[in-house]
Amino acid sequence: MNLETNANLPPAGVQTDFPVPPGVYAETAVSVRHYTEKLFMFRMTRPPAFRFRSGEFVMIGLPNAEKPVFRAYSIACPNWDEELEFYSIKVPDGPLTQHLQNLQPGDTVLMRRKSTGTLVNDALLSGRRLFLFSTGTGIAPFASLVRDPETYEKFESVIMTHTCREVAELGYGIDLTRQTYDDPLVGEEARECLTHYPTVTREPFRVTGRITHLLESGKIFRDLGIETLDPEKDRCMICGSMDMLHDTKDILLQRGFKEGSNREPADFVIERAFADNDEGNT
Ligand SMILES: Cc1cc2nc3c(=O)[nH]c(=O)nc-3n(C[C@H](O)[C@H](O)[C@H](O)COP(=O)(O)OP(=O)(O)OC[C@H]3O[C@@H](n4cnc5c(N)ncnc54)[C@H](O)[C@@H]3O)c2cc1C
Ligand SMILES: NC(=O)c1ccc[n+]([C@@H]2O[C@H](COP(=O)([O-])OP(=O)(O)OC[C@H]3O[C@@H](n4cnc5c(N)ncnc54)[C@H](OP(=O)(O)O)[C@@H]3O)[C@@H](O)[C@H]2O)c1
């Protein structure tokens, strides 16, 4: 009997046309919700032995080839959730998402066993306010952190910004905030401490403009009636495209913030929300 092959058999009830690669969990999609033509979220079963820190990412794939394509995905639920949640782009010819966007409840999703990432509470020194700056699907790791009680133990106030091109692309963040305020575990603290600040760049909306412009002009602080950024008491996380990371990071560096990591916690941490066109992340 080949024990190694047996060890990789999917759990009972999970259907795959190909063997599950070694070191990979085969899980079942539980629910799928489409927000726009380009964006959807799904929830799937959680392997009982799988542990992660809120804000980390894992590698996700589909059982549609002998050697399936895996892509990095931020886990969008907190570490106490019984299921796993993901928020995804749909790239028309994308090797993974051209298929993943057709996911239905009951389908199998592959997930590598190890999670990692820098957008974790441990990588920041303590502070009073936590700013979470996101664009597009970059809100996913913050959907995990704003539902983790540890975030409210560490910070008095949490400001989550989300900038998208179009109003419809804000839907997931709006639902997330509403659900977080209603959540039995963190709702009370979130209603007191969590502020959602959505902005749009290519359509009219109540707040328009890139987060970089809103920080530099001071509009975000006037809108929210709060003090401007201060490295003595503020901590920040940034998640977006390479250009957004670069420009937002520059603003923080100019204001005296120091970049942190898992090894050396400091004032802010960054993680890209996707790889640029000429890089892959298989
Ligand atoms: C650390 C990390 C975490 C990530 N977390 C997520 C996540 O939570 N949700 C998610 O949808 N994607 C996430 N991504 C991107 C993801 O890994 C894939 O790139 C994405 O699923 C598309 O896969 P694909 O094979 O279809 O196309 P790819 O070949 O991977 O991408 C094709 C092109 O599409 C564009 N693109 C890819 N992903 C995005 C995106 N998310 N938003 C806007 N444009 C994009 C880029 O221009 C890219 O070059 C993450 C990437 C990294 C590096
Ligand atoms: N989402 C779409 O409708 C769409 C359409 C066609 C192609 N695409 C492609 O899909 C990829 C991702 O699109 P996306 O909309 O998810 O992400 P994106 O292009 O990174 O834009 C998301 C948000 O980030 C803002 N932004 C971009 N660069 C920034 C910077 N340097 N500093 C601060 N904010 C910045 C954008 O503002 P601006 O609007 O001012 O750029 C937008 O509001 C891109 O490669 C894009 O070419 C997307």
The pLDDT tens digits of the residues spanning 172-198 come to 999 999 999 999 999 999 999 999 999
pLDDT at 163 over 70: yes
In CATH, what number does 19-112 get?
Answer: 2.40.30.10
Name which residue sits closest to atom 48 of ligand 1, judged by CA.
277
Residue 15: per-residue pLDDT: 58
Sign of CA dihedral 85, 91, 96, 97: positive
Burial of 155 (0-12, 13-18, 19+ CB in 10 A): buried
The DSSP secondary-structure symbol of 121 reads G
Name which residue sits closest to atom 30 of ligand 2, judged by CA.
244
Name which residue sits closest to atom 16 of ligand 2, judged by CA.
136
Ligand 1 lined by 97 (C-beta under 6 Å): yes
Q: What is the pLDDT of residues 211-255, one digit of tens each?
A: 999 999 999 999 999 999 999 999 999 999 999 999 999 999 999
Spatial contact of 266 and 259, defined as CB atoms under 8 Å apart: yes
Mean pLDDT of 80-107: 97
What are the residue ranges of CATH 2.40.30.10 in the chain?
A: 19-112
Name which residue sits closest to atom 14 of ligand 2, judged by CA.
136
3-state secondary structure of 264: coil
Residue 275: per-residue pLDDT: 83
Instruction: pLDDT band for 2, please (50, 70, 90 cuts).
Output: very low
Ligand 1 lined by 138 (C-beta under 6 Å): no
Place of tokens 């997930």: 111
Atom of ligand 1 nearest to the CA of 136: 42
Cα of 165 vs centre of ligand 2, distance in Å, is 6
Phi first, then psi, for residue 76 (nearest 5°) are -90, -5
> What percent of the chain shows pLDDT beyond 90?
89
Using most ligand atoms within 8 A of CB, pick from 39, 165, 201, 236 the residue to mutate for ligand 2. Answer: 165
The DSSP secondary-structure symbol of 152 reads H
Q: Which ligand is nearest to the CA of 198?
A: 2
3-state secondary structure of 190: helix
Class of 121-272 in CATH: alpha beta
Mean pLDDT over each residue of the chain, to the nearest integer:
93
Cα of 1 vs centre of ligand 1, distance in Å, is 40
Q: What is the pLDDT of residues 248-282, one digit of tens each?
A: 999 999 999 999 999 999 999 999 999 876 554 55
pLDDT at 125 over 50: yes
Q: Which ligand is nearest to the CA of 165?
A: 2
Cα of 216 vs centre of ligand 2, distance in Å, is 19
Mean pLDDT of 31-47: 98
Residue 7: per-residue pLDDT: 43
Bridge-based pairing state of the strands 39-45 and 83-89: antiparallel
Ligand 1 lined by 243 (C-beta under 6 Å): no
What are the residue ranges of CATH 3.40.50.80 in the chain?
A: 121-272
